[in-house]
Structure 1
Amino acid sequence: MTAGPERPREKQADRRARTRSALLESAARGFSTYGYGNVALERVAAEAGYTRGALYHLFANKEDLALAVVQWVEETWAAEVGGPAADEADPVASLLAMGRGHAVYCRRDVARVMRALSVEFAGQDHAVGRAITGVLGRLATQVADRIAAGRKSGAIPPGPPPREVALAYLGTLEGLVSSVAGHAPHDVELVERAIRGLLGLPPSRTYSDTEVEQ
């Protein structure tokens, strides 16, 4: 008797979730391509296959949408990259897995949104900029903790403070991936080389000139 009334609500919730996901992906693509200031919400809605009214039913304004995009990217990145990397018990393996996973994640056009918004709101006291700073701060802490654990175990040699190395890790990763995004499989190979060099680790293998050129 109770199952019947619940089913329509579940279907409505599913439709709402699909609509929201489509709008967030469209917005992420728009912010990545045009920047926050140049994105028209009508275009975001249309490219997702919805009306402007549908967008405003879920998001109050552009700032609300951008904040939701930042949260969505953090969640999807954690599910696809951060979570699997955290499952690696060895700190070095975890850091390498994060780098490789990030390279794969950035093969999608929506992955550039965090960098685009970060640059646009740099130096401004804006809610979107603060949200991105929070995401990057949490990520830097995770990386620094793994670097510290690797040094404690002897797997990572001594060097600058873990927090500084973590910031360099993230900067190197983002800069490299933004330059070679989509150039599979070399994006993953180059990310691993860069991480190993930054951490002071030996290369995993020796690549010949012929292999690199292929």
Structure 2
Amino acid sequence: MLEQVAAEAGYTRGALYHQFKGKQELALATLEWVLDTWQREVGVLVEREPEPVAALLAMARGHAVFCRRDIARMAIALRLEFSGQDHPVGRAAEDSYASLIADCERLVESGRASGAIPPGPPARTLALAVVGALEGAVVSLAGQAPHDEVLAERAVAGVLGIRLTNRTEEHR
């Protein structure tokens, strides 16, 4: 993964190390790169969808595709590695995760307000379950393209308590 970051930045791996004061600064920059890449590839799909359920399903499909590459593992690994620690890298990873949960929570609330998502657990709890189910699905389905995309979407739909229609699946 570091080689990919270096190549995208126009550096060799060795030259990349010289651009940072230490491993912590490099880890923070790499995490920022992963999150920016996610936003360009997945976040934009979510933003294009006017309906909250469609946005959450687009996130599921896009995240599955995003996670087919090794770059996605880094953010998850850092979040797990630094969980519960007061460390700059851990805080950055947790902040990005909290932002994703907040975005999902807003979509759940909007979906409930429109009647597209049925009542149930609190919106934050449901948002945590959506992200957890999505992460679990894509990690477990690594190397199973194109089925990972379809099954990630189904996992999110199931957590939301909605049924995918043939029309929904044909829209993909």
TM-score by length of 2: 0.88
Query: What residue in structure 2 maps to residue 121 of structure 1?
Result: 82
Output the aligned Cα RMSD. 2.1
Q: How does 1:1-214 map to 2 (within 5 A)?
A: 25=5, 50=12, 52=14, 54-205=15-166
Give 1:97 deviation, angstroms.
Answer: 0.2
Shift of 1:50: 2.4
Cα distance in 2 between the residues matched to 1:180 and 1:26: 28
* CA separation of 1:83 and 1:104: change in aligned 2, threshold 3 A: same
Number of the residue aligned with 2:170: none
| Change over 3 Å in CA distance of 1:123–1:133 after alignment to 2 | same
Larger radius of gyration, structure 1 or 2?
1
Determine if contact 1:24/1:68 at 8 Å carries over to the other structure: no
Partners of 2:152 and 2:25 lie apart in 1 by 34
> Taking structure 1 as reference, are residues 51 and 159 closer, same or farther at Cα in structure 2, changes over 3 Å only?
closer
TM-aligned CA distance change 1:201 to 1:116, over 3 Å: same
- Residue identity over aligned pairs, in percent, reads 51
Q: 2 CA distance for matches of 1:200 and 1:173?
A: 14
Aligned amino acid, residue 157 of structure 1:
P
Question: 2:6–2:16: 8 Å Cα contact kept in structure 1?
Answer: no
Supply the AA of the counterpart residue of 2:5: E
Distance across 2 between alignment mates of 1:56 and 1:107: 26
Q: Distance in 1 between matches of 2:116 and 2:25?
A: 43
Name the CA distance, whole Å, in 1 between partners of 2:5 and 2:18.
17
> Structure 1 unaligned runs (5+)?
1-20, 28-47, 206-214
CA-to-aligned-CA distance 1:70-121 (integer Å, 9 cap, x gap): 1111111001001121110000000000000000000011211111111111
1:56 to partner: Cα distance:
3.9
Unaligned ranges ≥5, structure 2 = 167-172
**TM-score in terms of structure 1 length:** 0.71
Distance 1:179 1:22 in 2: 23
